[in-house]
Amino acid sequence: MGLRATFLLFCLVTYVTYIACKDCTLDDECSCSMDDGSGKVDLTSLGNSDNTAKFKDVLFSDEGYYYSYNPCGGFDEGDCSNAAVCVSNQDKSEQQQIGDASRAAFKWDDDSNNVIAAYTSGKGVLRLSTVNLICDPNACTPTFQPEGEQGAGQFEMTLTTVCACPGKCGPNGPTSCSGSGSSGLSGGSILLIAFFTLVVIYFVAGILYMKFKNQATGTDLIPNKSLWTSIPRNVVNGNKFVISKITRKPTTYDQI
């Protein structure tokens, strides 16, 4: 075997080994670390700490059942105690615990290219809930979607969040997020709001000044009235000047 072939074989074996060994090692019940060094998948900030579910009674219409999920920490709901995942029947009169908060595991899934959080519950006959953690850098506000029972005692659901992206979240939340959930406003929107706020302040303060200081009434209350009333006329004259240049008529701005 030549040197080049040996090198290619080495690269192939290294690549295959890297892919096969890629996983997310459990750190605690709320997070895992990627073996490839890309960072930690941390759901800590997504969980409620008041014994309630972050996502409560989300309907899966195909079944008519309601699913509750808390990505970090246990919650109580009806017959469920210290649960990570709980399902309620159609009238919410009965609940079944399908995932314990204390029995969490994480695994990288090559088929979907995302991390899966798994929770088991019960003794003897186990119930298993798997949550597909969809990495979306723009999903500053997480969304939860139950997919229902896939087989006997096997449930599936999806959580889309920036915190499913390795290294993008810490215990206190996203380290960076470009979607609407971060500030909710673009830079341009903030500038427009600031501009119109200043305009309102200008007119309110000006009108009060003209009224109480100069004893003005009617349209004379408008601050710098001559300036504002001249704007429409100046706009019309400016348009005429531009049009004259386009049509190449021998007209000057002073003549307009």
Q: What is the layout of strands, in order, in the sheet containing 143-151?
A: 104-109, 114-121, 127-135, 154-161, 143-151
pLDDT of residue 10: 36
Which residue carries 């690549």 as its tokens? 15
Which residue carries 């109580």 as its tokens? 76
HSE value, Cβ hemisphere, 13 Å, CA-based, for 190: 5
Mean of the per-residue pLDDT values for the chain?
83
pLDDT of residue 129: 97
Share of the chain above pLDDT 90, in %: 55
For residue 7, pLDDT over 60 is answered with no
What's 24-174's CATH class?
A: mainly beta
Mean of pLDDT values over 201-230: 79
pLDDT digits (tens, 9 = 90+) for 20-71: 458 999 999 999 999 999 999 999 999 999 999 999 999 999 999 999 999 9
For residues 161 and 142, the answer to whether their CB atoms sit within 8 Å is yes
Mean of pLDDT values over 119-143: 93
Which residue carries 């409560």 as its tokens? 56
Mean of pLDDT values over 222-242: 76
For residue 1, pLDDT over 60 is answered with no
For residues 97 and 80, the answer to whether their CB atoms sit within 8 Å is yes
Quote the tokens at residue 232.
């429409």
pLDDT of residue 252: 56
Instruction: Work out the burial of residue 125: count CB atoms within 10 Å of its CB; fewer than 13 is exposed, 13-18 middle, 19 or more buried.
Output: exposed
pLDDT of residue 212: 79
Q: Per-residue confidence at 11, pLDDT binned at 50, 70, 90? A: very low
Instruction: Work out the burial of residue 188: count CB atoms within 10 Å of its CB; fewer than 13 is exposed, 13-18 middle, 19 or more buried.
Output: exposed
Q: For residue 122, which of 68, 85, 73, 91 has the smallest C-alpha distance?
A: 85
Q: Of 144 and 188, which is predicted with more confidence? A: 144
Mean of pLDDT values over 227-234: 78
Q: Which helix (H) or strand (E) holds 71?
A: none
Instruction: Identify residue 26 by its one-letter amino acid code.
Output: L
pLDDT of residue 245: 65
